[in-house]
Amino acid sequence: MTIDEAGHAFVWDPTTGEEILQLVGHTAWVDSAVWSPDGQRIVTASDDDTTRIWDANTGEELLSYVGQGSEAYASWSPDGTRVLINLGLDGSAVVWDANTGEEIVNFREHSGKISWVEWSADGSQVMSGGQDGIVRIWDSTSGQILQEFPGHTQAINFVRWSPTFDQILSASTDGTVKVWDLAGELINVEIPEVGIGAWNLAWSPAGDRVAVPYLDGTLRIFDPATGEELAATQPEAGRNGVLVEEHFSPNGDELVVVPVGGLTLVYDAATGEKRLQIGQEAMWGFWSASWAPDGFEFATGTTTYGDQTNGVIQIWNAETGNERLAIVAHPATINWLAWSPDGQHIVSASEAGEAKIWDAANGELLFDLYPEGFTQAIDAPAWSPDGEQLAIYSGDGIITVWDPATGEPLHKITTSGVKLGRINWFPEQDRLLTSDRGGNVNVWDIPSGTEVASFTFPSNWVAQLSPNGSQVMVAPWPDGPVSIFSIWQSRDELIELAKECC
């Protein structure tokens, strides 16, 4: 289900990408749209001052609540009989009978906007967090305040119950996250905010960790299941602290990091300790990197190398840092490198409109994929999991899937033309997931070249598919939270997911 600024909500078939239903009635931006627990109704809240309940099968409007104000959000009680509406800027929230439209109770204790509200598992309580920095738990029937948790010094951004509902989690713009028990005691130490501007994202091979570099130059490793920070490091080199990219080694033990500024760094992925440093500090230097599948070597692509101004591939020993091979590859910056799954080949993509496949053992050029005179920048090459196909994006907006054994094109996909940030293969090798600088995340069917799903975010997003293809990790540029979403494989799976999460 998606929403737009014109006041419409759309239900899509996730398998075909076809529109199933359109909910028409709102006259302003729809702030939220949520399935009922039984999947038969949808509640939407809009800046047009209304919350509406719709029949999820026919699109018919069943009920309408008027008077909520703008920036309102609605959620179903666990049993689907009531709707909780956060009344936006009003500083209050109401519980509404989902069958009759009658207002049951109104919560009015917060001073300023309520940022987040959430039901307890049995629906008997509601938790809220507001701009006044206080978390409150309410009786959902009487509206009585049961508990208050002061402690934050600034507005609360969100609140969460623990899975066992004996603890609560609150996060604030004061830069802290707090965990409380239901006696009101602070359980753990505060977790400081972790920096701004996620530039890139990387999953570990097992999918049990994610690495996130930030614009302040920090690299942090998190548990994607809990959000716990496992390790952090501050690369000591790099122009403005910006990290261009990072990659886990095949066994997940190490991270190779490329900061803007002439160095390539290898870190222990468990501790954040620096193990290796290659290169010298400079205005520019290395711009891309890729591990060999066996983890014993990695390749880097440069913008400066001796007398060569641009475009040199170097292969390094991951233990000693010794250079084994240098290939003068392109007359311009190497935007991207990707090692083939079998370790025999490396593909390089250049700002000069070139993509080339090389023998990783001796540096021999095997294929120059794009025709002479092609001037559009090449980006984001991605090998299929079996190594028998290679997807590459060019600046004319085309994704070409190549046969790396012959250098011949197999399929072409025409995108919107907005520069892509990354191409991901699904494990079945019949679809691609892409993200672009316009905030679009798209799923493409490779044989037909058609778009089968599209998701639009409010800013430039980086997207990375998990190793098993079941989750996608996204981060907005230049600032915002890193989020992980499940990817459904069928309509039934989507409905079940919506029931669980929403």
Mean pLDDT on 260-288: 67
Q: Average pLDDT in the 293-320 region?
A: 77
Q: Return the higher-pLDDT residue of 165 and 15.
A: 165
Give the mean model confidence (pLDDT) for residues 5-29. 76
pLDDT of residue 338: 92
Residue 477: phi and psi, rounded to 5, are -115, 135
Give me the mean pLDDT over the 376-394 stretch. 93
Indicate the pTM of the whole model: 0.52
User: Is the distance from CB of 9 to CB of 27 less than 8 angstroms?
Assistant: no
* pLDDT at residue 299, as a whole number: 87
Under the banding of pLDDT at 50, 70 and 90, the label for residue 14 is low
For residues 327-353, give the mean pLDDT: 90
* Confidence check: pLDDT of 312 > 70: yes
Question: What element of type H or E holds 461?
Answer: strand 460-465
pLDDT (tens digit, 9 = 90+) per residue, 136-189?
898 999 989 998 888 788 888 778 776 567 777 776 776 565 767 775 444 443
CA distance 80 to 75: 9
Question: Over 50: is that where the pLDDT of 192 sits?
Answer: no
Domains 2-192 and 202-501 share a fold: yes
Place of tokens 């990072």: 246
What is residue 436's predicted lDDT score, i.e. its pLDDT?
A: 83
Mean of pLDDT values over 243-271: 72
| Sign of the alpha-carbon dihedral angle for 195, 258, 210, 387 | positive
At residue 344, the pLDDT reads: 96
The residues spanned by each domain of the chain are 2-192, 202-501
Residue 480 has pLDDT above 70, yes or no: no
AA identity, residue 62: L
- Cβ-based neighbours of 481, under 8 Å, separated by 6 or more: 475
Taking residues 116-137, report their average pLDDT.
88
CA distance 439 to 418: 9
Say what the pLDDT of residue 73 is.
83
pLDDT of residue 410: 97
**pLDDT for residue 284:** 43
Q: What is the average pLDDT score of the chain? A: 78
Q: Which residue has the higher pLDDT, 208 or 325?
A: 325
- Amino acid, res. 110: H
Predicted local distance difference test score (pLDDT) of residue 401 = 97
Structure tokens belonging to residue 440: 């679009």
CATH architecture assigned to 2-192: 7 Propeller (2.130)
Q: Which residues pair with 272 in a beta bridge?
A: none
The predicted pLDDT at position 161 comes to 78
Beta partners for 179?
169
Is residue 500 over pLDDT 60? no
**What percent of the chain lies above the pLDDT cut of 70?**
73
Residue 405 C-beta-side C-alpha neighbours within 13 Å: 6
CATH 2.130.10.10 assigned to domain 202-501? The reply is yes
Query: pLDDT band at residue 279, thresholds of 50, 70 and 90?
Result: low
User: Read out DSSP for 125-139?
Assistant: EEEEEETTS-EEEEE
| Per-residue confidence (pLDDT) for residue 225, from 0 to 100 | 63
Each residue's pLDDT tens digit, 421-458: 789 999 899 999 998 877 788 889 999 999 987 777 65
At 363, list the tokens.
Answer: 């540096």
pLDDT reported for residue 355: 94
Mean pLDDT along residues 239-266: 66
How large a percentage of the chain has pLDDT more than 90? 21
Region 203-211: mean pLDDT is 76
Q: Using CA atoms, how far apart are residues 87 and 68, in angstroms rounded to an integer?
A: 5
- Strand ranges, E, within 280-322: 286-291, 297-302, 312-317
Segment 315-325 mean pLDDT: 87
pLDDT per residue as tens digits for the range 26-85:
888 888 888 888 889 999 888 888 899 999 889 899 998 887 666 678 899 999 999 998
Strand extents, DSSP E, 176-262:
176-181, 191-192, 202-203, 210-213, 219-222, 229-233, 243-248, 254-259
Residue 478: cis peptide before it, omega within 30 degrees of 0: yes
Conformational region of residue 333, where left means phi above 0, alpha means psi within -120 to 50, and beta covers everything else: beta
